[in-house]
Structure 1
Amino acid sequence: MRRSAIAVAAAISSASLVLAGCSKADDNGDDGGSKATADAATKSVVNASTEKGGTVTYAMSDVPDSFDPGNTYYAYMYNFSRLYARPLLTFKPAPGEKGNEIVPDLAQSKGQSSDGGKTWTYKLRQGVKYEDGTEVTSADVKYAVERSNFARDVLSLGPNYFAQFLDGGDKYKGPYKDKSDKGLASIETPDKYTITFKLKQPFTDFDYLVTAPQTAPVPKAKDTGVDYTKKIVSSGSYKFQSYQEGKSVTLVRNPEWSAKTDPLRKQYPDKIVVNLKVNQATIDKDLMAGTTTVDLAGRGVDTQTQAQLLNNKDQKANTDNTYGGRLVYAALNTTVKPFDNVECRKAVQYAIDKVAVQTAQGGPVRGDIASTVLPPDVIGYQKFDAYPTK
């Protein structure tokens, strides 16, 4: 996924108040205090609340690729889907660096590795129920991975990493074409609560792979392919009340969810509403007014709103200037003359007025000048510049 580029994001304290209750775990009292200060929400939960009731309102200037947890690619949808879809593992719902930690979700613990890293086994929590009261099983997780990775002619929007790693993944045609109805042999379910993945080669970071919502269970009998997004069966704390394609989505509490089988989620708001195709300027105004809680895509406010926020001391205190979701770059076609010559490519790199490009994107407050494709918020980042210019 594309990461980074600094953007100003409105994080009004009243919005954080509800967000902390909606999707955050108990963060050991690290709530950052009640007074809003710039960048406060990058390190802590601001104005944390355990109040029940009310509505959390999301808005987006476009539409997501899909609400189907098995058919989405973008990080903001990975995050949002955790309200109604429980992957085997997930990232700890905590602010700042603590949010990089992987923790068990549907699984009882992280994977047990064997065979030199080629076999990974997970034990599911017992008693987890769908919104209709039926119990989640390992067969549902197996089916979810198969439908999302091996039926690319039907579900093509998410990644297919499992297909690349699983033994026999290059030959399996997916559950919609599987006449044997046995599924992929390298995903084993010896009992209701155990699932084992057999890989074609060792992969020590497999736990990271199963944090994807593609491991969130899908009951085979309820799957309708590309239309599943219209009636998603919830395994999380909230379920779909309504889905109006391209317009809005409404979630309400899942009565079958239990805190005893889910240490990560809460059920504070009564309702969660997502309004789609809302003008970005309108979203910005509603965020500042508190009538919208979250900009779903989280790309930051528009240029006009940015200037208003930065020029007002009180309003600036309610913002975070943090690394966001993208790296902006220019690509040179290395197969077309003269750019097949590395010296010509270097000449472009040295000649470009990087400050002018940065200004065109909104100035320094909108993003750093990148000297490497790896952004500063990714673990392992090191600052270097192979082609330094003034």
Structure 2
Amino acid sequence: MSLVEQAHHPGPAGPHRVAEPAYGGTLRLLTTERIEALDPATANGTATRQLLWATSRQLFAYPATTDPPYADRRARPVPDLAAELPTRAGGTVTADGRQWTVRLRADVHWDTDPPRPVTAADVVRALKRLAGPAARSAALAPLADVLLGLADYHAAARRAFARTRPTAAGYAEFAARHDLPGARAVDAHTLHLRLRRPVDDLVRLLAGTGLAPVPAEYDAWLPGAAVPRSTGPFRPVGRTDGGVVRLVHNPAWDPQTDPLRARFVDRIEARGDATADEVRAAGRGPEPVDLSWAGGAAAALPVPPVGWALDAYLVFNLRGPARPAGPRHRAVRRAVALAVDRLAVAEALAVPGVPSRLQHGLLPPGTPGHRPYDPWPTPYHRGDPEAARAALAELGPDARPALHLLVPDEPRRREAAEILAANLAAVGIAARLTAHRDGDLHDLLLDPTHGRAGRWDVALCGWTPDRCADPDRELRSLIADDVAGGRNYGGYRSTRVARLLAAVRAEPDPARAAELRHRVDVAVLRDLPVVPLVAAAVVPLSGRSPRVRNLRLLPHLHRVDLTRVWLDPDTTG
């Protein structure tokens, strides 16, 4: 049964089928995730990017779908803001694959007064803001990997503002004085892109990162502080004192120019930073919650899982000072890997109704190159304190290992961290726990200056691969790229792993490439910059009210396309 059919057959609370869409109403969302500023330069969280889909057009995008599989390499991006797909046959991609010409639609407008057309210069501005000195978007790392000069632009911006407090005027002046070799506005509606090497999946990369233009008005604001402008069917109108982000109709949006989005509801209201208990009680309050996301919110999921994620893993800070018994010593990392009681951690993290399994390798199930293997086995997966102590003995008799462990401020994660701390204490490693809101933890890990200053030693993280993206680029972002916005939080580097990744990139045979990815996995786990713990199914939705209709999932986000949802007026929430 497709998602649409499930939505039309909501069960006992709404047994009748509503065939015709209804317009109007307020779609209310609740999530345990942090909802960041609706700015493409700073957006990282899935909930934030889901709202951005409703407010901004992208160069290319993945259409929402109703039938599984929702997200894999078979999903095909299509033009959104772009007028067409660039091709060699059409003369918009050079024979060597290093230069791409993207022609933009001329009928997409900003919600300015009067409405102003979106231009190629707005896309160049977005790329420069993305690579600014305070960059924190996860889109930077994959784009810097392919777009000529983007990594250099970011490095130059960081140097320019290393000793001065950044200002919006300073950002704008820097951008005006520094060209970006890989992106040039040929005219109002023609964008020329130059790449570091031939790339066949540039459209897929641009769709996955959600590259969206930003208007000239953003030059007056620091990234994340701008008054949002919209090109999508909705526009933001602020955030209430209670933290509710409100979206209303964008009068400048023309459905005839947007083949990917719709607009049924009058308003969207989204609140983040909710507790899991609040999400569980969402349907029982005075105001109905239509869609919700939270681990453990419901045992009976309204839609099936859409893949697997590395739900929990430990990452070590390898950038920090070389302490006598700190995380830069492989013996310490090996002792941690051997001390962990994975079964207890998995039980703490388990969500009713969501499949999970112990994870010993880096690549979760369903990821090309995944193989079931255990590089650091312990009896019954319960940990091996004796082997862990033997590893620590390599540090000498006077070593007193102590680790600062960062953990998301969420009950299941805190419980898992307390189990980890007890495991480490049992082998002689003192662990100090610090809990952060998920978005704050992400910000802290993204900034390498915190790592170099030794402000953390190990962090409990999670990783959901984008199965629409190039799997090799996803893997490099996790364990090789050392660019702001990337997921290589600990700064791991290995020439052996780099050579293997290059071999994967050059290998045309899928089976051979998958075997090479497994060899990457084995090589990384030999060095132990990370300790995988648990894999879990990716669940795009925790709760849905009976009045919600027309659920369609965005493949690259594993989330509902809010612009396609409509509310049945004859069914109460």
Is the TM value for this pair above 0.5? yes
- Distance, in Å, in 1 between the alignment partners of 2:344 and 2:138 is 36
- Say which SS state the counterpart of residue 208 (structure 1) adopts: helix
Deviation readout 1:4-49 (Å, 9 max, x if unpaired): xxxxxxxxxxxxxxxxxxxxxxx9x953463348xxxxxxxx9886
Partner of 1:327: 311
Query: Which of these residues, 246, 251, 257, is aligned with residue 255 of structure 1?
Result: 251
1:97 alignment partner, SS class:
coil
Deviation of the 1:199 alpha carbon: 1.6
1:34 aligns with 2:15: no
Q: Distance in 2 between matches of 1:124 and 1:359?
A: 50
The answer as to whether partners of 2:301 and 2:353 remain within 8 angstroms in 1 is no
Aligned-residue identity in percent: 22
Task: Find the counterpart in structure 2 of residue 177 from structure 1.
Answer: 173
User: Which position in structure 2 is the counterpart of 1:7?
Assistant: none
Cα separation, 2, equivalents of 1:47 and 1:377: 36
CA RMSD of aligned residues (A): 3.6
In 2, distance between residues paired with 1:48 and 1:370?
Answer: 44
Name the SS for the 1:190 alignment partner.
Answer: strand
For the 8 Å contact 1:143–1:183, the answer to whether it is kept is: no
Aligned to 2:136: 156
Q: Sort the Cα spacing of 1:180 and 1:331 in 2 relative to 1 into closer, same or farther, 3 A.
A: closer
- Counterpart for residue 291 of structure 2: 294
CA contact (8 A) 1:54 1:270 kept: yes
Instruction: Map 1:69-218; keep pairs closer than 5 Å.
Output: 69-95=40-66, 96-100=68-72, 101=75, 102-112=77-87, 113-132=93-112, 133-149=115-131, 151-153=132-134, 155-161=135-141, 162-172=143-153, 173=156, 176-178=172-174, 180=176, 183-211=179-207, 215-218=211-214
Structure 1-normalised TM-score? 0.73
Q: Is the 8 A contact 1:87 1:214 kept in 2?
A: yes
| Structure 2 residue matching 1:240: 3-state secondary structure | strand
Using the TM superposition, give the Cα deviation of residue 64 of structure 1 relative to its aligned residue in structure 2, in angstroms. Answer: 2.5
Distance 1:178 1:344 in 2: 43
Q: Which amino acid aligns with 1:362?
A: A
Whether contact under 8 Å (2:139, 2:209) holds in the other structure is no
Equivalent residue of 2:311, what SS?
coil
CA deviation map 1:337-371 (0-9, x unaligned): 69989899778757754322211223785522123
Report the residue type matching 1:368 in the other structure.
R
Larger radius of gyration: 2
Cα distance in 2, alignment partners of residues 72 and 323 from structure 1: 23
Report the structure, 1 or 2, having the larger helix content: 2
Rounded to whole Å, the distance in 2 between the matches of 1:219 and 1:319 is 37
Partner of 1:218: helix, strand, or coil?
A: coil
What do the CA deviations read for 1:176-222 (whole angstroms, capped 9, x no partner)? 23375574233122122211211222233322321256621111134
Gaps of at least 5 residues in structure 2 are 12-16, 88-92, 158-170, 381-573
Instruction: Please identify, of 120-129 and 89-98, the stretch whose mean Cα deviation from structure 2 is larger.
Output: 89-98
How much has 1:152 moved relative to structure 2?
2.2
Contact 1:91-1:99 at 8 Å conserved across structures: no
Deviations 1:34-84, CA, capped at 9 Å, x for gaps: 3348xxxxxxxx988621100011123453343212211223322321101
Give the CA deviation at 1:238.
Answer: 0.5
Q: Which runs of 5 or more structure 1 residues have no equivalent in the other structure?
A: 1-26, 38-45, 310-315
Q: Which amino acid aligns with 2:78?
A: V
- CA gap of 1:109–1:260, structure 2 versus 1, over 3 A, is same
Distance of aligned partners of 1:99 and 1:53 in 2 relative to their CA distance in 1, 3 Å threshold: farther
1:376 has 2:360 as partner: no
CA contact (8 A) 2:310 2:359 kept: no
Alignment size in residue pairs: 339
SS in 2 for 1:82: helix
Partner of 2:264: 268
C-alpha separation between the residues in 1 aligned to 2:352 and 2:340? 17
Question: What is the distance in 2 between the residues matched to 1:77 and 1:195?
Answer: 27
Report how far residue 250 of structure 1 moved.
0.9
Shift of 1:93: 0.9
Give the distance between the partners of 1:241 and 1:333, measured in 2 at CA: 40
**Which deviates more from structure 2 when the two are superposed, residues 65-74 or residues 159-168?**
159-168
| d(CA) in 2 for partners of 1:184, 1:341 | 40
Superposition deviation, residue 232 in structure 1: 0.7
What is the letter of the counterpart of residue 97 of structure 1? P
- Tell whether the 8 Å contact from 1:69 to 1:213 is kept in structure 2 after alignment: no
